């Protein structure tokens, strides 16, 4: 297993949410690039839960788990969903990352996703 260290750089200040500044990986034998996951749902929270469930399934299929995640890239369709996304992460990430070391996350607001019904998409990089 790779040595994965999730770190914050004091000179950069405290992260604004459940993420860290960087991931340092030493001796990685394999890297997983997980395509952006989507989930149909009636509301934003349901879609977030479904998206991260899909990511968990992809990780497990490769013998990995949340501790193997090196980075997320998140795409939101509506900037109004940023507080909802932060609240979801604040509630759920401590369960997924009990050590409190949250992977870096780039958050982008885009015009739309592949289908009008989708509100959130998350791409993942993990290291085995």
Q: Where are the domains of the chain?
A: 3-127
State the Cα–Cα distance between residues 112 and 116, nearest whole angstrom: 7
C-beta separation of 77 from 113 below 8 A: yes
The distance of Cα 47 from the centroid of its chain, to the nearest Å, equals: 13
**Tokens found for residue 58:** 């992809």
The pTM for the full model equals 0.91
C-beta separation of 116 from 40 below 8 A: no
Q: pLDDT tens string for the chain (128 positions)?
A: 778 999 999 999 999 999 999 999 987 578 999 999 999 999 999 999 999 999 999 999 999 999 999 999 999 999 999 999 999 999 999 999 999 999 999 999 999 999 999 999 999 999 99
Look at the domain 3-127 and name its fold: 60s Ribosomal Protein L30; Chain: A; (3.30.1330)
Closest CA to 124 of 67, 73, 56, 60: 73
CB atoms near residue 54 (< 10 Å) = 18
State the Cα–Cα distance between residues 94 and 63, nearest whole angstrom: 21
């Amino acid at each position: 297993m790779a040595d994965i260290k999730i770190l914050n750089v004091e000179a950069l200040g405290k992260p604004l949410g459940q993420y860290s500044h960087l991931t340092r990986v030493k001796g990685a034998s394999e890297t997983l690039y997980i395509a952006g996951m989507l989930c149909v749902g009636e509301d934003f929270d349901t879609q977030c839960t479904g998206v991260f469930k899909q990511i968990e399934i992809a990780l497990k299929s490769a013998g990995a788990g949340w501790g193997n995640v090196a980075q997320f890239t998140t795409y939101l369709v509506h900037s109004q969903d940023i507080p909802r996304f932060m609240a979801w992460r604040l509630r759920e990430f401590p369960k997924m990352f009990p050590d409190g070391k949250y992977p870096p996350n780039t958050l982008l607001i885009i015009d739309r996703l592949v289908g009008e019904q989708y509100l959130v998409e998350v791409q993942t990089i993990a290291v085995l």
